[in-house]
Amino acid sequence: MRQIVLDTETTGLEATKGHRIIEIAAIEVVNRKITDNYFHVYINPQREVDEGALAVHGLSDEFLADKPKFQEIYQSFIDFIKEGELVIHNAPFDVGFLNMELEKTGSGQLVDHCSGVLDTLAMARQLHPGKRNSLDALCERYAVDRSARTLHGALIDTELLAQVYLAMTRGQDSLLDTVSANESGISSPLFKSSQGRLAVKRASESEVARHDEYLTRLSKENVEVVWRAHKE
């Protein structure tokens, strides 16, 4: 089985507001073994990098100015991921940006070029409910050395995620192949674009009420309740 552990860095958080990809890294895993085959490129986004994003990954406008544009590298990227299953942490974020970039080139969407997308964040939340499941937290939980990660970077993050993913799935011969995909083409934890929708279990009225009480308590403690802002 061929899998591709993938990560991106971007100029900002929202593709719908014109932000672009500035780095793509992908590492090949074959039959649960990390190979020497990888894809890595920096990209000129043709726009400025937000200050907040710069603080996270350190990729400046000056550094990116002489890098190739996405339309110059997309075919080599497609060739690398072709028919592989993508392994991504918080997959909707990266997939959203990659879909946007691929659509600009007339190349369809990401799922048109791979066999599926596995979201390791969704997987981690199922394995460790109620706990922190960031990449840093998972590295600590699975004893993966992250001392070289001083800033976020697509290449170092894919290297760490590959080790975390193999640790999370140690002893498994298959990765929930029977799990169906939802309408976005990404499963939780495994998405396959050719399958149907996941069943949705709605919260009961009492569960919703208890959740609302919990958010209210957080607000009184001066904790920013982002969930409510998105809900509204």
Positions annotated as catalytic residues are 152
Q: Which of 103, 100, 80 lies closest to 92 in space, CA to CA?
A: 100
Count other C-beta atoms under 10 Å from residue 14's C-beta.
13
Name every residue whose Cβ is closer than 8 Å to that of residue 62 and which is 6 or more positions away in sequence. Answer: none
Neighbours of 179 (CB within 10 A): 16
State the DSSP code for 192.
-
Q: Which residues of 36-75 are buried (b: 16+ CB within 10 A; e: fewer)?
A: eebbebbbbbeeebbeebbeebebeeeebeebeebeebbe
Q: What is the dihedral of CA 213, 218, 220, 221, to 10 degrees?
A: 150
Q: What are the E-state strand segments in the chain? A: 2-10, 21-30, 33-42, 85-88, 116-119, 190-191
Distance of CA 200 to the CA centre of its chain: 22
Q: Which two tokens stand for residue 107?
A: 């190349």
